[in-house]
Amino acid sequence: MYIVENTVSVSDLRKHTIDVMKGVARSSKPVVVFSRSKPKIVLISYQNYAANEESERPIHSGRGADFFINTPEKFLIHKKGCDAVKEIRKLRD
Amino acid sequence: MTSSISIDSSVFLSGLTTTDPSFAVSKAFLKKIVTGNILIIVPVLVLFEVLHAYFRNTKDLKKTDEVFQNFIDLNIEKKIRFINIEADFLSYFVARHYEIDLKTLDSVIALVAQKNHCPLVTWDKKLLKNCKGKIQTMTPAEFLRKRTIPVYK
Protein backbone atom coordinates (compact mmCIF):
# COMPACT_ATOMS: atom_id res chain seq x y z
CA MET A 1 0.00 0.00 0.00
CA TYR A 2 1.44 3.34 -1.01
CA ILE A 3 -0.71 5.47 1.25
CA VAL A 4 0.50 5.16 4.83
CA GLU A 5 -1.64 6.93 7.43
CA ASN A 6 -2.86 9.38 4.76
CA THR A 7 0.58 10.33 3.53
CA VAL A 8 2.44 9.39 0.37
CA SER A 9 5.89 10.24 -0.94
CA VAL A 10 6.37 12.02 -4.25
CA SER A 11 8.29 9.05 -5.63
CA ASP A 12 5.44 6.64 -4.74
CA LEU A 13 2.91 9.09 -6.19
CA ARG A 14 4.91 9.20 -9.45
CA LYS A 15 5.12 5.44 -9.68
CA HIS A 16 1.54 4.64 -8.61
CA THR A 17 -0.47 7.70 -9.59
CA ILE A 18 -3.61 5.76 -10.58
CA ASP A 19 -3.68 3.71 -7.36
CA VAL A 20 -3.16 6.80 -5.19
CA MET A 21 -5.92 8.62 -7.07
CA LYS A 22 -8.29 5.70 -6.53
CA GLY A 23 -7.43 5.62 -2.81
CA VAL A 24 -8.02 9.38 -2.43
CA ALA A 25 -11.29 9.20 -4.32
CA ARG A 26 -12.51 6.33 -2.07
CA SER A 27 -11.40 7.90 1.20
CA SER A 28 -13.08 10.84 2.87
CA LYS A 29 -9.70 11.90 4.31
CA PRO A 30 -7.11 14.06 2.53
CA VAL A 31 -3.71 12.59 1.64
CA VAL A 32 -0.54 14.62 2.30
CA VAL A 33 2.19 14.30 -0.31
CA PHE A 34 5.72 14.36 1.13
CA SER A 35 8.82 15.45 -0.74
CA ARG A 36 12.23 15.16 0.92
CA SER A 37 10.45 14.29 4.19
CA LYS A 38 8.43 17.51 4.17
CA PRO A 39 4.68 17.89 3.47
CA LYS A 40 4.25 19.67 0.13
CA ILE A 41 0.69 19.31 -1.14
CA VAL A 42 -2.61 17.76 -0.08
CA LEU A 43 -4.78 15.57 -2.27
CA ILE A 44 -8.50 15.36 -1.64
CA SER A 45 -11.36 13.85 -3.58
CA TYR A 46 -13.34 16.16 -5.83
CA GLN A 47 -16.43 15.40 -3.74
CA ASN A 48 -14.74 16.75 -0.60
CA TYR A 49 -13.32 19.72 -2.48
CA ALA A 50 -16.75 20.67 -3.78
CA ALA A 51 -18.26 20.29 -0.29
CA ASN A 52 -15.57 22.58 1.15
CA GLU A 53 -16.16 25.18 -1.53
CA GLU A 54 -19.86 25.13 -0.79
CA SER A 55 -19.36 25.58 2.95
CA GLU A 56 -17.02 28.54 2.43
CA ARG A 57 -19.42 30.38 0.15
CA PRO A 58 -21.06 33.37 1.89
CA ILE A 59 -24.53 32.48 3.11
CA HIS A 60 -27.42 34.41 1.63
CA SER A 61 -30.24 33.46 3.92
CA GLY A 62 -32.77 35.53 2.03
CA ARG A 63 -34.23 36.54 5.37
CA GLY A 64 -34.04 39.55 7.66
CA ALA A 65 -31.32 41.96 6.53
CA ASP A 66 -30.72 39.95 3.34
CA PHE A 67 -34.42 40.21 2.44
CA PHE A 68 -34.27 44.02 2.52
CA ILE A 69 -31.01 44.10 0.50
CA ASN A 70 -31.75 41.39 -2.06
CA THR A 71 -35.53 41.34 -2.03
CA PRO A 72 -36.73 38.39 -4.13
CA GLU A 73 -38.42 39.56 -7.30
CA LYS A 74 -41.78 38.06 -6.34
CA PHE A 75 -41.95 40.24 -3.19
CA LEU A 76 -41.35 43.51 -5.01
CA ILE A 77 -44.27 45.77 -5.89
CA HIS A 78 -44.40 46.40 -9.64
CA LYS A 79 -47.65 48.36 -9.71
CA LYS A 80 -47.44 51.13 -12.28
CA GLY A 81 -47.25 54.65 -10.87
CA CYS A 82 -46.87 53.49 -7.28
CA ASP A 83 -45.25 56.27 -5.26
CA ALA A 84 -44.22 55.28 -1.72
CA VAL A 85 -44.62 58.76 -0.22
CA LYS A 86 -48.12 59.15 -1.66
CA GLU A 87 -49.09 55.67 -0.48
CA ILE A 88 -48.01 56.44 3.09
CA ARG A 89 -49.68 59.88 2.87
CA LYS A 90 -52.96 58.14 1.99
CA LEU A 91 -52.73 56.30 5.31
CA ARG A 92 -51.78 59.36 7.36
CA ASP A 93 -53.92 62.20 5.99
CA MET B 1 -20.43 52.20 19.68
CA THR B 2 -23.47 51.50 17.53
CA SER B 3 -25.01 54.47 15.74
CA SER B 4 -28.74 54.65 15.46
CA ILE B 5 -31.10 56.03 12.89
CA SER B 6 -34.85 56.35 12.50
CA ILE B 7 -36.34 55.48 9.13
CA ASP B 8 -39.76 56.58 7.92
CA SER B 9 -42.26 54.15 6.36
CA SER B 10 -41.86 55.87 2.97
CA VAL B 11 -38.25 54.63 2.73
CA PHE B 12 -39.08 51.00 3.53
CA LEU B 13 -42.00 51.01 1.10
CA SER B 14 -39.91 52.70 -1.59
CA GLY B 15 -37.28 49.95 -1.23
CA LEU B 16 -39.95 47.36 -1.98
CA THR B 17 -41.51 49.22 -4.94
CA THR B 18 -39.71 48.96 -8.28
CA THR B 19 -41.97 51.60 -9.83
CA ASP B 20 -41.24 54.17 -7.12
CA PRO B 21 -38.99 56.98 -8.45
CA SER B 22 -36.63 56.51 -5.48
CA PHE B 23 -36.48 52.69 -5.51
CA ALA B 24 -32.76 52.39 -6.37
CA VAL B 25 -31.64 55.02 -3.86
CA SER B 26 -33.84 53.54 -1.10
CA LYS B 27 -32.38 50.11 -1.81
CA ALA B 28 -28.79 51.43 -1.68
CA PHE B 29 -29.59 53.28 1.54
CA LEU B 30 -31.16 50.23 3.22
CA LYS B 31 -28.18 48.13 2.15
CA LYS B 32 -25.77 50.63 3.72
CA ILE B 33 -27.75 50.66 6.95
CA VAL B 34 -28.36 46.93 7.44
CA THR B 35 -24.82 45.95 6.49
CA GLY B 36 -23.30 48.64 8.71
CA ASN B 37 -23.14 48.81 12.46
CA ILE B 38 -26.26 50.97 12.59
CA LEU B 39 -29.34 50.28 14.66
CA ILE B 40 -32.68 51.25 13.11
CA ILE B 41 -35.11 52.68 15.66
CA VAL B 42 -38.71 53.02 14.52
CA PRO B 43 -42.08 53.31 16.20
CA VAL B 44 -44.09 50.14 15.74
CA LEU B 45 -46.41 52.37 13.69
CA VAL B 46 -43.89 52.16 10.81
CA LEU B 47 -44.45 48.43 10.67
CA PHE B 48 -48.23 48.92 10.56
CA GLU B 49 -47.96 51.47 7.76
CA VAL B 50 -45.48 49.55 5.59
CA LEU B 51 -47.45 46.31 5.86
CA HIS B 52 -50.78 48.07 5.29
CA ALA B 53 -49.49 49.94 2.23
CA TYR B 54 -47.75 46.78 0.95
CA PHE B 55 -51.01 44.83 1.14
CA ARG B 56 -52.99 47.65 -0.52
CA ASN B 57 -50.62 47.46 -3.48
CA THR B 58 -50.22 43.68 -3.77
CA LYS B 59 -53.54 42.35 -2.41
CA ASP B 60 -51.52 39.35 -1.27
CA LEU B 61 -51.84 38.35 2.39
CA LYS B 62 -49.16 35.64 2.18
CA LYS B 63 -46.57 38.02 0.77
CA THR B 64 -47.53 40.69 3.32
CA ASP B 65 -47.05 38.15 6.10
CA GLU B 66 -43.65 37.22 4.65
CA VAL B 67 -42.58 40.89 4.70
CA PHE B 68 -43.78 41.05 8.33
CA GLN B 69 -41.74 37.92 9.20
CA ASN B 70 -38.66 39.51 7.66
CA PHE B 71 -39.10 42.61 9.83
CA ILE B 72 -39.23 40.25 12.82
CA ASP B 73 -36.07 38.50 11.58
CA LEU B 74 -34.40 41.93 11.25
CA ASN B 75 -35.38 42.53 14.88
CA ILE B 76 -33.94 39.14 15.93
CA GLU B 77 -30.72 40.06 14.08
CA LYS B 78 -30.69 43.19 16.29
CA LYS B 79 -30.72 45.47 13.26
CA ILE B 80 -34.02 47.14 14.12
CA ARG B 81 -35.77 48.10 17.35
CA PHE B 82 -39.49 48.75 17.48
CA ILE B 83 -40.63 51.43 19.88
CA ASN B 84 -44.03 50.81 21.42
CA ILE B 85 -46.35 53.74 21.77
CA GLU B 86 -47.00 53.62 25.49
CA ALA B 87 -47.72 55.98 28.38
CA ASP B 88 -44.05 56.93 28.67
CA PHE B 89 -43.99 58.14 25.08
CA LEU B 90 -47.39 59.82 25.47
CA SER B 91 -45.96 62.18 28.11
CA TYR B 92 -43.10 63.06 25.76
CA PHE B 93 -45.53 63.50 22.85
CA VAL B 94 -47.89 65.79 24.78
CA ALA B 95 -45.01 67.99 25.88
CA ARG B 96 -43.54 68.46 22.39
CA HIS B 97 -45.96 67.76 19.56
CA TYR B 98 -46.94 71.46 19.14
CA GLU B 99 -43.33 72.34 18.30
CA ILE B 100 -43.38 70.50 14.98
CA ASP B 101 -46.94 71.25 13.84
CA LEU B 102 -47.64 67.93 12.12
CA LYS B 103 -50.56 65.52 12.11
CA THR B 104 -50.64 62.88 14.84
CA LEU B 105 -48.99 60.00 12.95
CA ASP B 106 -46.30 62.26 11.44
CA SER B 107 -45.63 63.66 14.91
CA VAL B 108 -45.21 60.15 16.33
CA ILE B 109 -42.62 59.33 13.64
CA ALA B 110 -40.71 62.57 14.25
CA LEU B 111 -40.84 62.51 18.04
CA VAL B 112 -39.71 58.88 18.32
CA ALA B 113 -36.56 59.93 16.42
CA GLN B 114 -36.11 62.96 18.68
CA LYS B 115 -36.70 61.02 21.92
CA ASN B 116 -34.17 58.36 20.87
CA HIS B 117 -31.58 60.95 19.83
CA CYS B 118 -31.27 59.72 16.26
CA PRO B 119 -31.71 61.42 12.89
CA LEU B 120 -34.84 60.74 10.86
CA VAL B 121 -34.49 59.59 7.26
CA THR B 122 -37.55 60.11 5.09
CA TRP B 123 -38.68 60.87 1.55
CA ASP B 124 -41.67 62.83 2.85
CA LYS B 125 -41.31 66.55 2.09
CA LYS B 126 -43.81 67.49 4.77
CA LEU B 127 -41.76 65.77 7.47
CA LEU B 128 -38.51 67.20 6.10
CA LYS B 129 -39.93 70.74 6.08
CA ASN B 130 -41.68 70.75 9.45
CA CYS B 131 -38.85 69.04 11.36
CA LYS B 132 -36.20 71.39 10.02
CA GLY B 133 -34.24 72.96 12.87
CA LYS B 134 -35.98 70.79 15.47
CA ILE B 135 -35.11 67.23 14.50
CA GLN B 136 -32.22 66.23 12.25
CA THR B 137 -33.90 64.97 9.10
CA MET B 138 -32.61 64.02 5.68
CA THR B 139 -33.49 61.99 2.61
CA PRO B 140 -31.75 58.65 1.91
CA ALA B 141 -29.93 60.40 -0.97
CA GLU B 142 -28.56 63.05 1.38
CA PHE B 143 -27.52 60.36 3.83
CA LEU B 144 -25.62 58.47 1.12
CA ARG B 145 -23.93 61.67 -0.06
CA LYS B 146 -22.67 62.44 3.44
CA ARG B 147 -21.38 58.84 3.78
CA THR B 148 -21.20 59.23 7.54
CA ILE B 149 -23.73 58.71 10.27
CA PRO B 150 -24.95 62.11 11.33
CA VAL B 151 -24.69 62.97 15.00
CA TYR B 152 -27.85 64.12 16.65
CA LYS B 153 -27.61 67.64 18.11
Predicted ipTM?
0.91
Minimum mean pLDDT range among B45-59, B80-94, B134-148: B134-148
Q: Say whether pLDDT at B153 is over 50.
A: no
> What is residue B152's predicted lDDT score, i.e. its pLDDT?
45
Q: Confidence class of residue B139 from pLDDT cuts 50, 70 and 90?
A: very high
pLDDT digits (tens, 9 = 90+) for B68-90: 999 999 999 999 999 999 998 99
pLDDT digits (tens, 9 = 90+) for B85-124: 999 899 999 999 988 989 999 999 999 999 999 999 999 9
Which chain A positions have a beta carbon within 8 Å of B27's beta carbon?
A: 69, 71
Q: Does A85 touch chain B (CB under 8 A)?
A: yes
Degrees to nearest 5, angle at CA B116 with B113 and B121: 30
Beta-carbon separation of B49 and A78 below 8 A: no
Alpha helices per DSSP H over chain A: 10-15, 17-26, 46-56, 65-69, 84-92
> What is residue B151's predicted lDDT score, i.e. its pLDDT?
47
Distance in angstroms (rounded) separating the CA atoms of residues B10 and B145: 19
Closest residue in B to A75 (Cα–Cα): B63
A63, A75, A76, A77: best to mutate for the B interface, most B CBs within 10 A: A77
B7, B58, B102: best to mutate for the A interface, most A CBs within 10 A: B58
Beta-carbon separation of A88 and B73 below 8 A: no
Beta-carbon separation of A75 and B105 below 8 A: no
pTM, two decimals, is 0.74
